[in-house]
Amino acid sequence: MCLVAIALDQSRRFPLVIASNRDEFFDRPAARLAWWQPRPDDLPILGGRDLSSGGTWLGLTATGRLALVTNIREPGRHEPNAPSRGEIVTRWLSGRQNADRFWTQTALSGYNGFNLVIADFQDGACFYGSSLDAQPRRLERGLYGLSNARLDAPWPKVEAIKRRTLVALNRHASLDGLVDELFAALADRSEADDECLPSTGVPLEWERALSPAFIRTDDGRYGTRASTLVVTERVHKRLVTHVLERSFTAQGSAALLRHAVVRGWPPRYATLPVQPTGPAHAEDIRESEVAVAVAADPPARKPRVRSLLRPPGR
């Protein structure tokens, strides 16, 4: 995962929106969006899967956990034998530890530089952590952007995806309209001007090549492999979460789109814990060659709507 926008409680209609691109070498094998288990006794995870190391870049469980990871661009400090950072995501999703204990173990595990967002919606909590920082930070309601530096680092593509996500949320009351505009934002191939580029230790030509939201190197070996949306919509008094993944070939064309629907997700933090097993609480994953159009329910009325996150101090 190399570009992410996260909108937490920025819309009554869509209380959780994640728009993300995964950039990777095309010869690294990966499985598309599906329910799968890291180990036979683990809870199922909904997400893509790195078939090289077994982890994932973004996933969720039916019990209310979510996680995503991005690399930190530190070419001079990269350890080739370090464990895969995708393993961090699966450890959180399949674990039972609270965020503090999980962070302590993760920080001591020898990973190369990373950013991590973890949430446990049954507890009403979401955190951001980085290998550059000693402690994770609790995220409250807001709009956040992440790439290969710290959260909300003012890289041009981070600022752009945040701005376009907010515009899309304010413009659309229908799921299909929101999805189309977010996928369009993730497909932007505009390079940043040289004076706006970050300096991360890679050559200038690489900084240019990596500056768009959607990446494709000239040699076709590296680029955006998948665009993934997580969109929670409020349908009357219920929450329904859509996970949509567009995967791409080395030539840059959309290979196909997968769409999973998880009803009653995320769980409300004030209710008693539930123990769903995953796929039984989701529709079958739909797959198509073109974007899936989803009929939207009427916008919810405007009674007081509870946040997905527990208020501070409670």
Render pLDDT for 32-62 as a digit per residue (tens, 0 to 9). Answer: 999 999 999 999 999 999 999 989 999 999 9
Length of the chain equals: 314
Rounded CA gap, 184 and 229, in Å?
12
Band of residue 202 on the pLDDT scale cut at 50, 70, 90: very high
Rounded CA gap, 202 and 204, in Å?
7
Mean pLDDT of 169-191: 97
Query: Who wins on pLDDT, 259 or 96?
Result: 259
Looking at residue 304, its pLDDT comes to 57
Looking at residue 300, its pLDDT comes to 44
Does any domain span residue 298? no
Does the pLDDT of residue 208 top 90, yes or no? yes
CATH number, domain at 166? 3.60.60.10
Looking at residue 267, its pLDDT comes to 94
Does any domain span residue 300? no
**Residues 204, 206, 210, 215, CA torsion sign:** positive
Both tokens assigned to 272? 């008693």
Phi, psi of 7 (to 5 degrees): -115, 115
What's the chain's average pLDDT? 89
Looking at residue 312, its pLDDT comes to 76
Q: Classify each residue of 149-179 as buried b or exposed e, where b means 16 or more C-beta atoms within 10 Å of its C-beta.
A: bebbeebbbbebbbebbbebbeebbbbeebb
Rounded CA gap, 7 and 244, in Å?
16
% of the chain beyond a pLDDT of 90? 76
Beta strands in 37-84 (DSSP E): 45-50, 58-60, 65-71
Does any domain span residue 185? yes
| Cα within 13 Å of Cα(314), Cβ side | 10
Looking at residue 295, its pLDDT comes to 34
Looking at residue 147, its pLDDT comes to 98
From residue 236, give the alpha-carbon distance in Å to each of 12, 15, 243, 269, 297: 11, 13, 20, 18, 8
Does the pLDDT of residue 1 top 50, yes or no? yes
Rounded CA gap, 195 and 201, in Å?
15
Terminal C-alpha separation, the chain = 32
- The number of domains in the chain is 1
Domain, as residue range, for 186: 3-288
Band of residue 277 on the pLDDT scale cut at 50, 70, 90: very low
93-133 per-position pLDDT tens digit:
999 899 999 999 898 889 999 999 999 999 999 999 999 99
Phi, psi of 239 (to 5 degrees): -105, 135
Looking at residue 290, its pLDDT comes to 42
Does any domain span residue 307? no
Looking at residue 177, its pLDDT comes to 98
Does the pLDDT of residue 72 top 80, yes or no? yes
Rounded CA gap, 30 and 251, in Å?
17
Does any domain span residue 306? no
Does any domain span residue 207? yes
Both tokens assigned to 234? 């409020």
From residue 209, give the alpha-carbon distance in Å to each of 112, 194, 199, 216, 259: 22, 11, 13, 7, 30
Does any domain span residue 314? no
Q: Record the pTM.
A: 0.91
Band of residue 186 on the pLDDT scale cut at 50, 70, 90: very high
Does any domain span residue 301? no
Looking at residue 68, its pLDDT comes to 98
Looking at residue 19, its pLDDT comes to 98
Query: Who wins on pLDDT, 185 or 306?
Result: 185
Q: What 3 state SS string does 86-154 have?
A: HHHHHHHHHCCCCHHHHHHHHHCCCCCCEEEEEEECCCCEEEEEECCCCCCEECCCEEEEECCCCCCCC
Does the pLDDT of residue 151 top 70, yes or no? yes
| Cβ atoms 52, 250 nearer than 8 A | no
% of the chain beyond a pLDDT of 70? 88
Band of residue 158 on the pLDDT scale cut at 50, 70, 90: very high
